[in-house]
Structure 1
Amino acid sequence: MTAAILATLLGLAALAWSADRFVSGASAVATHLGMAPLLVGMLVVGFGTSAPELVVSSFAAAGGDPEIALGNATGSNIANIGLIIGTTAILIPIAVHRGVLSREMPVLLAITLLLAVLMADGRIGRLDAVILLAALGAQLAWSITSARRARPTDPVDELALEVEERERRAGMSRRAAWGWTLGGIVLLVIASRLLVWGAVGIAERLGWSDLVIGLTVVAIGTSAPELAAAVAAARRRETELVLGNVIGSNIFNTLAVVGLAAMIAPMAVDAEAISRDLPVLLAMTAALLIMGFRPRTHGRINRAEGATLLVAWIAYTAALVVTAG
């Protein structure tokens, strides 16, 4: 048990650090290769912030624990809204751009509903995986096309410009960029294998299901880098970046993480995932859309609403731990 706990903690720490190194290196590589800042922001950063969930879930599925993959994706999405958006909004209210309200938020809700439909029969098979991955391709194509027509003040452009400015200030050489990118991938793989091994060991000793360990320990761990980035962004009053990152991460988790894991190993869906976890995810996603809505103007998520999201996430996580024990 001690070895499993140590492996989990070490895996979480290594995962957070290697994910940050990978994003920084990959962003610099893309810039050196002449990719437009817009594409850097959408593809490199969008993939990089969900890299921990993707790698952990892939190894969990390949290792015969696909429920950890489903729990990781679902739990991370719930944590992104409740923990990250909630904490950020408490620190400083989050501005919600009208374009996000009319495009990205409804798309996120629709994708979450798609996952619910695919889970309804109690199984996510390879055909379901193909549907999720095809939806991811369509979403990326639509996002890139829409973003190219966006105004300079659009949050997507701000994210891209932030990435470009950060890498310009860092002055990372081409060799260093490639080194951190490749090294970050290797460390992500090692950290993910260590984390999955430790998490499975803890689950077996405590009698927790793979689903619960994925929803709690693994989900919180893989969301840790995004929480740190969100707090830093809040201090700089760049809350739109936080919201954009969470929406993009949740879309990627639902389509890519679950899709790839199911393609590797089709998974049976626990009845509790349908009756307990899915309704929570749908409610949190809908709440995000409702809280941000303001008629005929930009919206915002205030401190009271942020506190509501955070308390809901804490209550949900506490209920998981109590019932699992």
Structure 2
Amino acid sequence: MGVSLLFLALGGTLLFYGGDWLVDGIQRLAVEFRIPLVIVAFVVMGFGTSAPELFVAVQAMLSAAPDVAVGNVVGSNIANLLLVLALAALIKPLAIASDILRVDGGAMLLAALSFGVVAQDAVVSRADAATLLLGMAIYLLLRWHCLEDEENAETNGTKGLATAIGWCVAALIALPVGAYLFIDGAVGLAGSLGISEALIGLTAVAIGTSLPEMAACVAAALRRQPDLILGGILGSNVFNGTIVLGSAALVAPITVADSFIDYWIPIMVVASLVSLVFLRTGFVLSRKEASVMLVGYAVVFLL
């Protein structure tokens, strides 16, 4: 058990810092290449913070642990909304533009519903994976089409292209190593304690891989940048339900346990709906609504 805990801690640390380094590196690259900030918020940040989930899900399938792969995606999406988004709103109520809610919020809900549909036969096949990846490509094209013409991204004291590439390289080394250690530790801990891999995936793995989103969103809330928060969370959930799940299923078809079909995936869909409803009321996520979301996050694990 001691070795499993050590691997879990080391893996989680590498995932946390690796995701943070990747986001920082990509943001610096965006500045260097004068990419509009909105792209960083909706696409780059969303993908960067989903990188840990991607590495964990693929490594889980290589380790023949499908419950960890599915639990990682479902649990991470629930945590992103009911935990990470709520914590950011507690720091500072989040205002949201209607076009963000319509395009990115709609894409997040569609991704969650698509996950539920492809999982109904208890298997996410390679054909399902191809469909999910195609959906992600369509989303990116739509997002690009909806971008308004903006000024170039604001500079933030970037140290240059070499520094940006260095952060990305460091992240791309830390993330797969962290994923391997984290999965190995999670599966070993589940066996030692008699806990199901599904529960480990939904809790320890999901929250661990959501740490980059949490760190980025808390920092953005302190800097009063709601677009980065919403873009990161909504984009991350879309990536999780399409690229992350699809990539894992390309490695090997994913067997989906009944507990996910009957309970956890519906919870993910409900969490998506509730979050969008709260964001739609006045186009602000208030501290009161955020508190309800945090309570809901605790309740879903007690039922």
TM-score band by shorter chain is: over 0.9
CA-CA distance at 1:38 after TM superposition: 5.0
Once the two structures are superposed, the pairs formed by residues 35-74 of structure 1 within 5 Å of their partners are 35=35, 37-74=37-74
- The answer as to whether partners of 1:75 and 1:214 remain within 8 angstroms in 2 is yes
Q: 1:315 aligns with which of 296, 299, 302?
A: 299
CA-CA distance at 1:106 after TM superposition: 2.0
State the distance in 2 between where 1:311 and 1:64 align.
34
- The answer as to whether partners of 2:41 and 2:227 remain within 8 angstroms in 1 is no
- The answer as to whether partners of 2:112 and 2:269 remain within 8 angstroms in 1 is yes
Q: What TM-score, normalized by structure 1, do the two folds share?
A: 0.87
AA at the equivalent of 2:73: A
* SS of aligned partner of 2:224: coil
2:128 corresponds to which residue? Answer: 128
AA at the equivalent of 1:141: L
Matched, 1:190 2:177: yes
AA at the equivalent of 2:290: G
CA-CA distance at 1:262 after TM superposition: 0.7
- The answer as to whether partners of 2:67 and 2:256 remain within 8 angstroms in 1 is yes
AA at the equivalent of 1:315: V
State the distance in 2 between where 1:35 and 1:239 align.
19
In structure 2, relative to structure 1, the CA distance for the partners of 1:31 and 1:303 (3 Å cut) is: closer
State the distance in 2 between where 1:96 and 1:177 align.
29
In structure 2, relative to structure 1, the CA distance for the partners of 1:138 and 1:299 (3 Å cut) is: same
Unaligned runs of 5+ in 1: 320-325
In structure 2, relative to structure 1, the CA distance for the partners of 1:27 and 1:241 (3 Å cut) is: closer
- The answer as to whether partners of 2:42 and 2:228 remain within 8 angstroms in 1 is no
2:204 corresponds to which residue? Answer: 217
State the distance in 1 between where 2:102 and 2:35 align.
28
1:322 corresponds to which residue? Answer: none
In the comparison of the two structures, how many residue pairs are matched? 303
In structure 2, relative to structure 1, the CA distance for the partners of 1:63 and 1:82 (3 Å cut) is: same
1:285-306: CA deviation from partner (whole Å, max 9, x where unpaired):
0101111224xxx511111110
AA at the equivalent of 1:246: I
Q: Which stretch of structure 1 is more off in the superposition, 225-234 or 112-121?
A: 225-234
Q: 2:287 aligns with which of 297, 303, 307?
A: 303
Q: 2:229 aligns with which of 217, 231, 242?
A: 242
1:132-174: CA deviation from partner (whole Å, max 9, x where unpaired):
0110111111111111xx265xxxx8xx83xx533xx1x3233
Q: Which stretch of structure 1 is more off in the superposition, 179-188 or 35-44?
A: 35-44
Matched, 1:264 2:248: no
CA-CA distance at 1:242 after TM superposition: 1.1
Taking only the aligned residue pairs, the percentage that are identical comes to 34
State the distance in 1 between where 2:285 and 2:13 align.
30
2:155 corresponds to which residue? Answer: 165
State the distance in 1 between where 2:219 and 2:202 align.
25
CA-CA distance at 1:316 after TM superposition: 2.0
* SS of aligned partner of 2:15: helix
Q: Which stretch of structure 1 is more off in the superposition, 73-82 or 232-241?
A: 232-241
CA-CA distance at 1:116 after TM superposition: 0.7
CA-CA distance at 1:196 after TM superposition: 0.8
1:223-282: CA deviation from partner (whole Å, max 9, x where unpaired):
112112222222222223212211000000000111100111111110000111011111
* SS of aligned partner of 2:155: helix
In structure 2, relative to structure 1, the CA distance for the partners of 1:184 and 1:195 (3 Å cut) is: same
- The answer as to whether partners of 2:31 and 2:155 remain within 8 angstroms in 1 is no
1:231 corresponds to which residue? Answer: 218
State the distance in 1 between where 2:62 and 2:28 align.
31
- The answer as to whether partners of 1:216 and 1:317 remain within 8 angstroms in 2 is no
Q: Supply the RMSD in Å over aligned alpha carbons.
A: 1.9
State the distance in 2 between where 1:43 and 1:247 align.
10
State the distance in 1 between where 2:29 and 2:230 align.
25
2:117 corresponds to which residue? Answer: 117
State the distance in 2 between where 1:140 and 1:239 align.
21
State the distance in 2 between where 1:4 and 1:197 align.
7
State the distance in 2 between where 1:222 and 1:128 align.
24
State the distance in 1 between where 2:294 and 2:40 align.
31
State the distance in 1 between where 2:49 and 2:105 align.
18
State the distance in 2 between where 1:179 and 1:104 align.
30
- The answer as to whether partners of 1:69 and 1:257 remain within 8 angstroms in 2 is no
AA at the equivalent of 2:198: L
State the distance in 1 between where 2:286 and 2:39 align.
31
1:186-214: CA deviation from partner (whole Å, max 9, x where unpaired):
11111111111101111111222222111
